[in-house]
């Protein structure tokens, strides 16, 4: 424990270490958000960074009100992990990239059902189903680097001889449409959860949560199909959502904004596209509002990246990482914004959570191929 938990003011917990850089603006947003009506507890994860008015990488607890704007537009955004049948030792990176093909076009409901008859498409909303999206979203083939707890790795079916697949994506346009409509009517104010409007939002929010989960499933299935591989889903956890929860004996609403739940089994915490990713076991503690970091966290603002990197690195250089992995990213702006240099080291984030006794690492993976976007912009 020791210095990894800070309580700068009543009700606010920071999971950090002296070595970790926390951006001042993010801490400012944390305090501003924590003082909104009915927010009784806040917890900042070690990957906290500034967002649009609210910090990304934090959890907030209320007893009566819900704050849709705090969750933001990508309701249900999350991470999934699959064990694939692709042999690690026989891996041919160039061939895999070729086989992956282009995943940028949405899949229609009929394409989905003919490819995977066991999936029931949630087709009341077709918002770019089966596509990854932009920003920090990605799909990534990985190889097992280190197993820390062999018993659990074996139990869930992690296999070092075969590649893993990670998917980071969300509800695409659906969550944004729900938030837009909500904001036009109610602005950023908190809404009584039990009111008609509150219940209506939560119903739509839950649909977006399900849609995001299905979208990750479709992305993974699509990749496995293209690679002529089999796969088994090992985890799927959202890090952008509201849920009913009981905190310090009080029942209410837990808002996670870029924070993974510590209450739904094993959690994947991805590093940057040039860094390791971890599978961790959450420990049962209310210290950080039953929440964990959702990634490495940005170190540089998106707008600062190109200026800092374009004179030192070409786009071609950024498409290869220190792990020898390849990043498929035809968007020449995005590849700078998503460069590993723009993110904290994942080890610093994991260390903070280990020291705070929030997690136990189970396994570590390194990237092989990252898919962001293949289609060049016109």
Q: Which residues belong to the active site? A: 294
Q: Which neighbouring-strand residues pair with 107?
A: none
Annotated binding residue at 255? no
Short-list 26, 37, 31, CA closest to 11: 31
Annotated binding residue at 277? yes
Helix count (H) and strand count (E) of the chain?
11, 18
Between 74 and 217, whose beta carbon lies closer to DNA?
Answer: 74
Size of the residue set binding DNA (CB under 7 A): 22
Q: Does 340 bind DNA (CB under 7 A)?
A: no
214 vs 79, 138, 156, CA distance in Å? 12, 15, 21
What string marks each residue from 75 to 94 as x (binds DNA by CB under 7 A) or -?
Answer: --x-----------------
Output the six-digit token pair for 211: 């849609």
Question: Residue 359 CB, nearest distance to DNA (Å)?
Answer: 22
| Cα Dmax for the chain | 57
Output the six-digit token pair for 170: 């969300």
Annotated binding residue at 288? no
The H-assigned helical ranges of 157-195 are: 173-186
Residue 245 parent element (H or E): strand 240-247
Out of 170, 198, 261, 297, name the contact with DNA by CB under 7 A: 170
Between 176 and 286, whose beta carbon lies closer to DNA?
Answer: 176
Out of 74, 217, 236, 275, name the contact with DNA by CB under 7 A: 74
Beta strands across the sheet bearing 56-62:
5-9, 12-15, 39-49, 56-62, 250-257, 240-247
CA atoms of 111 and 117, how far apart (whole Å): 10
Question: Residue 86 CB, nearest distance to DNA (Å)?
Answer: 26
User: Stretches 111-119, 165-173, 203-211, 244-252: which one binds DNA (CB under 7 A)?
Assistant: 165-173
Question: Residue 143 CB, nearest distance to DNA (Å)?
Answer: 24
Interaction residues for DNA, span 122-141 (CB under 7 A): 126-128, 133-137
CA atoms of 201 and 288, how far apart (whole Å): 26
Interaction residues for DNA, span 43-72 (CB under 7 A): 52, 56, 72
Annotated binding residue at 239? yes
Annotated binding residue at 295? yes
Between 172 and 326, whose beta carbon lies closer to DNA?
Answer: 172
Out of 46, 68, 73, 76, name the contact with DNA by CB under 7 A: 73
Name all contacts of 227-230 with Cβ < 8 Å and 24+ positions apart: 227/84, 227/86, 227/96, 227/99, 227/100, 228/99, 229/84, 229/85, 229/86, 230/84, 230/85
Is 75 within 8 Å of 212 (Cβ atoms)? yes
What string marks each residue from 89 to 118 as x (binds DNA by CB under 7 A) or -?
Answer: -----------------x------------
Question: Residue 49 CB, nearest distance to DNA (Å)?
Answer: 9
Between 77 and 358, whose beta carbon lies closer to DNA?
Answer: 77
Out of 11, 176, 197, 345, name the contact with DNA by CB under 7 A: 176
Is 252 within 8 Å of 49 (Cβ atoms)? no
User: Stretches 38-46, 169-177, 189-197, 227-235: which one binds DNA (CB under 7 A)?
Assistant: 169-177
Neighbouring residues of 180: CB distance < 8 A, sequence distance ≥ 6:
73
Question: Residue 21 CB, nearest distance to DNA (Å)?
Answer: 18
CA atoms of 133 and 128, how far apart (whole Å): 8
Degrees to nearest 5, angle at CA 77 with 74 and 81 = 165
Identify the DSSP state of 362.
Answer: E
Per the annotation, where are the binding residues for GMP?
136-140, 239-240, 277, 294-297, 372
Per the annotation, where are the binding residues for Mn(2+)?
74, 137, 168, 239
Binding site for DNA (CB under 7 A): 52, 56, 72-74, 77, 106, 126-128, 133-137, 169-170, 172-173, 176-177, 377
């Amino acid at each position: 424990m020791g210095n990894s938990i800070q309580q700068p003011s009543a009700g606010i917990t920071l999971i950090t270490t002296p070595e970790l850089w926390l951006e001042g603006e993010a801490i400012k947003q944390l305090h501003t958000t924590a003082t909104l009506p009915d927010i009784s507890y806040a917890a900042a994860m070690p990957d906290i960074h500034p967002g649009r008015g609210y910090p990304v990488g934090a959890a907030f607890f209320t007893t009566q009100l819900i704050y849709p704007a705090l969750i933001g537009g990508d309701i249900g955004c999350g991470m999934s992990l699959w064990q694939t049948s692709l042999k690690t030792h026989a891996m041919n990176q160039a061939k895999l990239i070729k086989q992956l093909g282009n995943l940028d076009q949405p899949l229609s409901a009929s394409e989905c059902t003919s490819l995977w008859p066991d999936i029931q498409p949630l087709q009341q909303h077709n918002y770019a189903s089966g596509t990854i999206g932009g920003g920090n979203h990605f799909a990534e083939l990985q190889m097992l680097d280190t197993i820390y707890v062999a018993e659990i790795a074996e139990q869930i079916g992690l296999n070092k001889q075969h590649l893993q697949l990670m998917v980071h994506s969300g509800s695409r346009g659906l969550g944004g449409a729900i938030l837009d409509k909500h904001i036009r009517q109610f602005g950023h104010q908190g809404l009584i959860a039990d009111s008609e409007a509150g219940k209506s939002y939560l119903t739509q929010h839950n649909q977006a949560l399900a849609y995001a989960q299905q979208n990750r499933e479709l992305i993974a299935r699509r990749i496995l199909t293209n690679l002529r591989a089999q796969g088994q889903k090992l985890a799927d956890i959202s890090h952008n959502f509201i849920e009913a929860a009981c905190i310090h004996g009080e029942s209410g609403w837990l808002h996670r904004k870029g924070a993974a739940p510590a209450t739904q089994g094993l959690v994947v915490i991805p590093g940057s596209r040039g860094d390791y990713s971890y599978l961790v076991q959450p420990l049962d503690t209310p210290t950080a509002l039953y929440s964990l970091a959702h990634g490495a966290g940005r170190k540089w603002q998106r707008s600062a990246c190109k200026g800092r990197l374009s004179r030192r690195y070409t786009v071609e250089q950024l498409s290869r990482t220190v792990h020898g992995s390849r990043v498929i990213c035809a968007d020449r702006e995005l590849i700078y914004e998503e460069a590993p240099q723009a993110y904290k080291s994942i080890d610093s984030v994991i260390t903070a959570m280990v020291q705070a006794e929030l997690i136990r690492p189970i396994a570590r993976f390194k990237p092989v191929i990252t898919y962001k976007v293949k289609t060049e912009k016109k």
